Amino acid sequence: MALRETAFSNQSKISLVLASPICRTLQSACIVLQSALQGGSKCHPEIIAVPDAQETSDDPCDIGTDPSILREVVTENNWPVDLSLVKDGWNVKALGTRYSPESTAIAARARDVRIFIRQKIRELIEQGDTDPQVALVTHGGFLHYFTDDWEDSWLNPGTGWKNCETRSYDFGQDVMNDIDVEARLTETMESRSRRGKGSPMPARDEQTVLFERAMESWEKQGLQRPDRIGVIVETSVIA
């Protein structure tokens, strides 16, 4: 409730709400963004559950519910959620699958979420929305892959984001003519200023170094290290 009254006190500009299909994110989206969803504003009245936006690890807390059970949970709680994208297998995180905890798999689906959002924004513009804004409710670890920003990603366990923190991002080019296959995002200076950052988001070459530091830090925190999952490390045995 407090977050709704601070970071999201004015929800009239939100056009669309997306969320990871994990129950805790759906619940958070319903509570925090209630004004946008039910306030008669321009916002689409249903949250679109996006499987690609689920958390990175294959720990039990980060594995979603089977679609049939998830539908029951959504119905019982009267959550305004569109589950049409949630198919069988979305909660299978075996190595080599789309939702594997391997770093390359996470990065691929993070890119696809960005592309999905860019397409949704284009559709909103074509429908007459002159200032489309999309809210994504997801997870701390995944957000570093989604934003491709690894600055401070070790400050909290497995993330640099605080619980229920909000940040704002733009696509790097005119969204209608953006041909970037990665659909990269840039954090707005207003967003960075809100959290005490006086300079723009680190450049890509810096992000490579920050990513390595993040992986090492997460490992020291006792968490999964996505860049090492599925990698065969050669060792020598001396008799």
Could you report the per-residue pLDDT of 78-127, keeping only the tens digit for each?
A: 999 999 999 999 999 999 999 999 999 999 999 999 999 999 999 999 99
- pLDDT at 234 exceeding the cut of 50: no
CATH assignment at residue 47: 3.40.50
Sign of CA dihedral 78, 81, 82, 83: negative
Q: At what angle do helices 140-147 and 103-126 cross, to 10 degrees?
A: 70
Q: Is 46 exposed, middle or buried, given 0-12, 13-18 or 19+ CB atoms closer than 10 A?
A: middle
3-state secondary structure of 55: coil
Instruction: Please give the span between the terminal C-alpha atoms of the chain, in angstroms, as a whole number.
Output: 63
Q: Is residue 139 part of a domain?
A: yes
Please report which confidence band the pLDDT of residue 77 belongs to, taking 50, 70 and 90 as the band edges: very high
Q: Is residue 31 part of a domain?
A: yes
- pLDDT at 237 exceeding the cut of 60: no
User: Rounded to 5 degrees, what angle do the CA atoms 193, 198, 201 make?
Assistant: 90
Cβ atoms 137, 164 nearer than 8 A: no
Residues 6+ apart with CB under 8 A from 52: 98, 109, 110, 112, 113, 116
Q: Is residue 238 part of a domain?
A: no
Q: Is residue 58 part of a domain?
A: yes
Could you report the per-residue pLDDT of 8-66, keeping only the tens digit for each?
A: 667 999 999 999 999 999 999 999 999 999 877 799 999 999 999 999 999 999 999 99
What residue numbers bound the domain in which 221 lies? 2-228
Residues 6+ apart with CB under 8 A from 193: none
Q: Is residue 84 part of a domain?
A: yes
- pLDDT at 236 exceeding the cut of 70: no
Q: Is residue 236 part of a domain?
A: no
Rounded Cα distance, 169 and 183, in Å? 12
What's the total number of domains in the chain? 1
Mean of pLDDT over the chain: 93
Could you report the per-residue pLDDT of 180-199, keeping only the tens digit for each?
A: 999 999 999 999 999 999 99
Q: How many Cα atoms sit within 13 Å of 160 on the Cβ side? A: 19
- pLDDT at 233 exceeding the cut of 60: no
Q: Is residue 233 part of a domain?
A: no
Residue 162: CB atoms within 10 Å: 11
Express as a percent the part of the chain with pLDDT over 70.
Answer: 92
Which pLDDT score is estimated for 7?
57
Q: How far is CA 216 from CA 47, 183, 213, in A?
A: 35, 27, 5
Rounded Cα distance, 33 and 39, in Å? 10
Please report which confidence band the pLDDT of residue 6 belongs to, taking 50, 70 and 90 as the band edges: low
The structure tokens listed for 107 are 């990065």
Q: Is residue 57 part of a domain?
A: yes
How do 81-82 and 47-49 pair as beta strands? parallel
